[in-house]
Amino acid sequence: MAFKQIETKKISEIVRAQIEEMIKRGDVQPGEKLDSVVQLASQFQVSRSAVREALSALRAVGIVTIKQGDGTFVNKYDFSGVVDPMKAERIISKKEMIELFEIRKIIEVGAAELASLNRQEEHLQSLEAALDGMKRASGGENLGEKADMAFHLALASGTGNTIMIDMMHQLSDTLQKTMFETRRIWLYSEKKTLQRLYEEHENIYEAVKSGDAAAAREKMLEHLTHVESTMIQGIKKE
């Protein structure tokens, strides 16, 4: 029997991952300065060269900025570049995730209401297809975040508002990241199944389908508040 060689991570890659986790947890905020190379090397108990290599990798994907003689600073998440495939590795801090949910509550609650009034049969079919994708999410490699994003994009399309549609498409990559993270936390930290998430989306769909604007607003706000709470609690536990 042939065995595949087990790949081991370079020390610099482990250091990079640790720094990314620090940023996600909010231990260091966007705009703040990281500890010096010497301090980080001491904290992680690795060589300075490993820390420098990790910081260079983070700089290459736009997570930090290294200012010669001044130090290394954490960049804010650039939401204007969310459709840029070169920024696929960008990470979002806990604070930025919370702010994104605040924006989603403003935008998507209104979108649900508007979609309930303006949706066409084609939009309902797209919502149904997305629901089917979420229902088939396995909880393994498929957490259903792509179908989740498809649902929210279909809802935006149902508003008939071109600015709303463009805004949601521009945010789609970023939103899908947060959806994946929320679903991961949902399963592995909260020990829940994906059925509750499916049911919340189904409730939104039923309100939109029936043209009940008040219910559509209520169900969307309920859903976003719930997933935001799950995400925040999960991050605190990690």
| pLDDT for res 82 | 42
Using a pLDDT cut of 90, give the percent of the chain over it.
Answer: 42
| pLDDT for res 77 | 64
| pLDDT for res 6 | 37
* Average model confidence (pLDDT) across the chain: 84
pLDDT tens for each residue of 154-205? 999 999 999 999 989 888 888 888 888 888 877 765 546 788 889 999 999 9
Q: Is the pLDDT of residue 91 over 80?
A: no
More confidently predicted of 40 and 29: 40
Q: Mean pLDDT throughout 64-71?
A: 88
Of the candidates 174, 169, 155, the residue with the CA atom closest to the CA atom of residue 223: 155
Of the candidates 32, 56, 31, 28, the residue with the CA atom closest to the CA atom of residue 43: 28
Q: Are 216 and 167 in contact (CB under 8 A)?
A: no
Other CB atoms within 10 Å distance of the CB of residue 203: 17
pLDDT tens for each residue of 106-149? 999 999 999 999 999 999 999 999 999 998 887 666 788 899 99
Q: Is the pLDDT of residue 85 over 80?
A: no
Q: Is the pLDDT of residue 84 over 80?
A: no
Q: Is the pLDDT of residue 87 over 50?
A: no
Mark 123-158 as b/e (b = at least 16 C-beta within 10 Å): bbebbeebbebbeebeeeeebbbbbbbbbbbbbbbb
Using a pLDDT cut of 70, give the percent of the chain over it.
Answer: 84
Q: How confident is the model at residue 62 (pLDDT cuts 50, 70, 90)?
A: confident
Q: Mean pLDDT throughout 77-82?
A: 51
The letter for the amino acid at 238 is E
| pLDDT for res 170 | 87
d(CA 19, CA 15) in angstroms, rounded, equals 6
DSSP, res 136: T
